[in-house]
């Protein structure tokens, strides 16, 4: 999701944009040799851990794997967007 689209809270992207983003994700996963299944497992684990402390919006939860460019061409970055609905009260003296 484009940061500016998120900040401005624009309407849902048109199907052309969604298709383009999906194609880019498929190509990137292919280049970095990470299967969509592995990415879903990572997403599931992150959601499970974060959900212990916060109520999250599962529909808005996104995980993306981006390949570095320029001087960062040899590295990849995991980007996670987790809309938080509420912080759980787990006790202030727990930690």
pLDDT in tens, 22-69: 777 666 655 667 788 888 898 999 999 999 999 999 899 998 887 777
In a domain, 28, yes or no: no
> What pLDDT is attached to residue 81?
93
In a domain, 94, yes or no: no
Residue 15, sorted as left (phi over 0), alpha (psi -120 to 50) or beta, turns out to be alpha
In a domain, 18, yes or no: no
In a domain, 95, yes or no: no
Q: What is the dihedral of CA 13, 14, 15, 20, to 10 degrees?
A: -70
Stronger pLDDT, 25 or 10, i.e. the higher one: 25
Domain that holds residue 66: 34-87
Please identify which residue in the block is written with the tokens 């402390």.
53
Tokens of 64: 């993306």
In a domain, 9, yes or no: no
Stronger pLDDT, 6 or 13, i.e. the higher one: 13
In a domain, 52, yes or no: yes
> What pLDDT is attached to residue 47?
93
What's the structural domain count of the chain?
1
> What pLDDT is attached to residue 84?
94
> What pLDDT is attached to residue 17?
82
In a domain, 92, yes or no: no
In a domain, 61, yes or no: yes
> What pLDDT is attached to residue 54?
93
């Amino acid at each position: 999701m484009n940061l500016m689209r998120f900040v401005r809270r624009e309407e849902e992207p048109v199907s052309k944009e969604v298709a383009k983003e999906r194609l880019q994700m498929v190509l990137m996963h292919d280049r970095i040799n990470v299967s969509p299944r592995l990415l879903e497992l990572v997403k599931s684990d992150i959601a499970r851990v974060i959900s212990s402390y916060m109520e999250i919006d599962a529909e808005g939860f996104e995980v993306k794997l981006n390949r570095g460019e320029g001087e960062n061409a040899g590295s990849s970055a995991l980007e996670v967007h987790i809309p938080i609905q509420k912080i759980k009260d787990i006790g202030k003296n727990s930690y």
